[in-house]
Amino acid sequence: MRSTSAWIARRRGWRLAVAASVVTLTTCAADRVEADGFTGTAVIVHDGDTVSVRTARGLVRVRLEGIDCPELAQARGREAKAFTEHLVIGRDVRVDTHGLDQYDRVLGRVFVNGTDVNAALVRAGMAWRYERGHEDRVLVDAERTARAAHEGLWADANPEPPWQWRREHDVGADRPSPHASPAHGETSDRVSLADARGPFHGNTRSHVFHRPGCPNYNCKSCGETFLTMQSAEEAGYQPAGDCLKK
């Protein structure tokens, strides 16, 4: 009887030790993603400067550090996304990480076969470099080259920086639907943005997002999931007019 009790106690102790080891390994893996960099396969390009990388521990969303591409709704926004897709989609990448941003995305410098993707975007005139913080000479030189050659956005008469565009369009705050309100006498089952709850599904073709209960919540192209409206809008998606209203 005593030996059986001892065996049970040892088994319980072993299970606790294994559980503690799993927690430790998970924590260490998370630390490595944030601090030491990682490798994986780029499987989604959300916009010019945001990609999702498939790793051994799951999908990691990466915000390319030190640069800012035009928003999808801006001039050159779709072009910047296509440029990034051409460089990284389906390819093995290395991400040198620089912490997390306010949306819990990994900030990183992305490399494909030795090509610095962040710098390549700036050099092609598909992105601005950030001017705050430390001066990155690689990005400074890349932007100088793009300006001199009138590449990409620098060929435009008056290119608008994306941070200015976001401020003018109040991106990140609740925005009214682009669809018209129902005519007098009609009814609408659209829910106020202030009352909407996620998770939200994003249509990767139309770049609108739907709340649970929307007619198109599980649409064929709804391959993106966002926990908050802010994260959906940050990724360049707009609220669907058939179920979300101001």
> Span 188-194, mean pLDDT?
59
Local structure of 22: helix, strand or coil:
helix
Say if residue 159 is preceded by a cis peptide, omega within 30 of 0: no
Rounded Cα distance, 161 and 76, in Å: 11
Percent of the chain residues topping a pLDDT of 70:
73
Q: How far apart are CA 48 and CA 88, in angstroms?
A: 11
Q: What is the pLDDT of residue 183?
A: 32
Q: Report how far residue 72's alpha carbon sits from residue 77's, in angstroms, rounded to the nearest whole number.
A: 4
Q: Dihedral of CA 100/125/92/202: which sign? A: positive
Tell me the mean pLDDT in the region 29-49. 77
Q: Which residue has the tokens 């916009």?
A: 47
**Of 171, 167, 55, 72, nearest in space to 108 by CA:** 55
The C-alpha angle 200, 201, 204, rounded to 5 degrees, equals 140
Cα–Cα dist 94/110, whole Å: 6
- Report the pLDDT averaged over residues 123-149: 90
Q: What is the mean pLDDT of residues 151-155?
A: 96
| Both structure tokens of 153 | 């956005």
Phi-psi region of 91 (alpha: psi -120 to 50; beta: other; left: phi over 0): beta
Would you give the distance in Å from CA 183 to the centre of its chain? 37
User: For 168-188, what is each residue's pLDDT tens digit?
Assistant: 876 643 333 322 333 333 334
Catalytic residue among 65, 76, 105, 211: 105
71 among known catalytic residues: yes
Catalytic (active site) residue 160:
no
Q: What is the pLDDT of residue 243?
A: 77
Lowest mean pLDDT among 113-127, 144-158, 172-186: 172-186
Q: What is the pLDDT of residue 245?
A: 66
Please provide the distance, in angstroms rounded to a whole number, between the alpha carbons at the two ends of the chain: 69
- 212 vs 67 pLDDT, higher one: 67
pLDDT at res. 115: 97
Question: Does pTM top 0.85 for this prediction?
Answer: no
Q: Between 123 and 35, name the one with better pLDDT.
A: 123
- Tally the residues of the chain: 246
- 243: amino acid identity, one letter: C
Q: What is the predicted pLDDT for the residue at 192?
A: 66
State the pLDDT at residue 227: 74
Please state whether beta strands 244-245 and 191-192 pair in parallel, antiparallel, or not at all (unpaired).
Answer: parallel
Q: Is 105 a catalytic residue?
A: yes
Map out the domains of the chain as residue ranges.
Answer: 38-167, 171-246
Q: Which of 142-156, 179-193, 220-234 has the lowest mean pLDDT?
A: 179-193
> pLDDT at position 190, please?
63
CATH of domain 38-167: 2.40.50.90
Is residue 102 exposed (0-12), middle (13-18) or buried (19+ Cβ within 10 Å)?
exposed
Better-predicted residue by pLDDT, 216 or 152? 152
Per-residue model confidence (pLDDT) at position 60: 93
Kind of pairing between the strands at 38-47 and 92-100: antiparallel
Q: Is residue 224 predicted with pLDDT exceeding 90? A: no
Q: One of 71, 143, 224, 233 is an active-site residue; which one?
A: 71
Share of the chain above pLDDT 90, in %: 42
Q: Is the dihedral of CA 189, 195, 201, 207 positive or negative?
A: positive
Task: State the pLDDT confidence band at 246, using cuts at 50, 70 and 90.
Answer: low
The type of residue at 180 is: A
The encoded tokens of residue 165 equal: 């565009």
Average pLDDT rounded to a whole number, residues 200-206:
84
Cα Rg of the chain, angstroms: 23
Catalytic residue of the set 63, 76, 109, 129: 63
